[in-house]
Amino acid sequence: DAKTTQPPSMDCAEGRAANLPCNHSTISGNEYVYWYRQIHSQGPQYIIHGLKNNETNEMASLIITEDRKSSTLILPHATLRDTAVYYCIVRVTGRSNYQLIWGAGTKLIIKP
């Protein structure tokens, strides 16, 4: 079962910041939060991941609350090409591997 909860869809105006929320209230202390996105008819693409601290890379910023029960992915200047399904994922530790537990994601639509 998915360990994350996301809104099913969101809109954002082109050029504005897109803020995508995610709840992961049952996350354990050693479990990472990952974000991937999937553009229509393509495979998922890695965006960013974090454990406790806020993270930033060339694509996005990840803000994790102090209690780690929720996080927000920020796309600072959304473009039409950012229209995609965004997945917030918890990486759990199995017996011999790490596993990404995917939910249904948020469909983000960037409007001109």
Partner 1 sequence: EAGVAQSPRYKIIEKRQSVAFWCNPISGHATLYWYQQILGQGPKLLIQFQNNGVVDDSQLPKDRFSAERLKGVDSTLKIQPAKLEDSAVYLCASSQAGGTEAFFGQGTRLTVV
Q: Report the interface residues with partner 1, using CB under 8 A.
A: 2, 41-46, 49, 87, 89, 94, 96-97, 99-100, 102-105
CB of 64 to partner 1, least distance (A): 16
CB of 48 to partner 1, least distance (A): 10
Among the listed residues 86, 106, 100, 108, the one whose alpha carbon sits nearest the alpha carbon of residue 3: 100
Q: Which is nearer to partner 1, 14 or 49 (CB)?
A: 49
- Exposure string (b/e) for 39-65, b if CB count within 10 Å is 16 or more? eeeeebeebbbbeeeebeeeebbbbbe
Q: Which is nearer to partner 1, 74 or 92 (CB)?
A: 92
Question: How many angstroms separate the CA atoms of 80 and 27, rounded?
Answer: 32
Q: Which is nearer to partner 1, 63 or 92 (CB)?
A: 92
β-strand partners of 75 = 18
